[in-house]
Amino acid sequence: MKDNLKTIDRCIYGNEKGHDLFASFDYLLKFSIEIYQQKVNEIKNG
């Protein structure tokens, strides 16, 4: 699990050392909410 988070950190920040985990979770949460809202809009407009 920790290795996955480090990989996510690199993808987000382009930093080999990675950032603190909370930054990753914060990003993932925002990203998930955006995708969810897009899906909801698609269904409403669909």
**Of residues 18 and 39, which shows the higher confidence score?**
39
Q: What residue spans define the domains of the chain?
A: 2-45
The sign of the CA dihedral 11, 24, 2, 17 is positive
**Of residues 1 and 38, which shows the higher confidence score?**
38
Tokens of 34: 């955006």
- The answer, as to whether pTM is greater than 0.75, is no
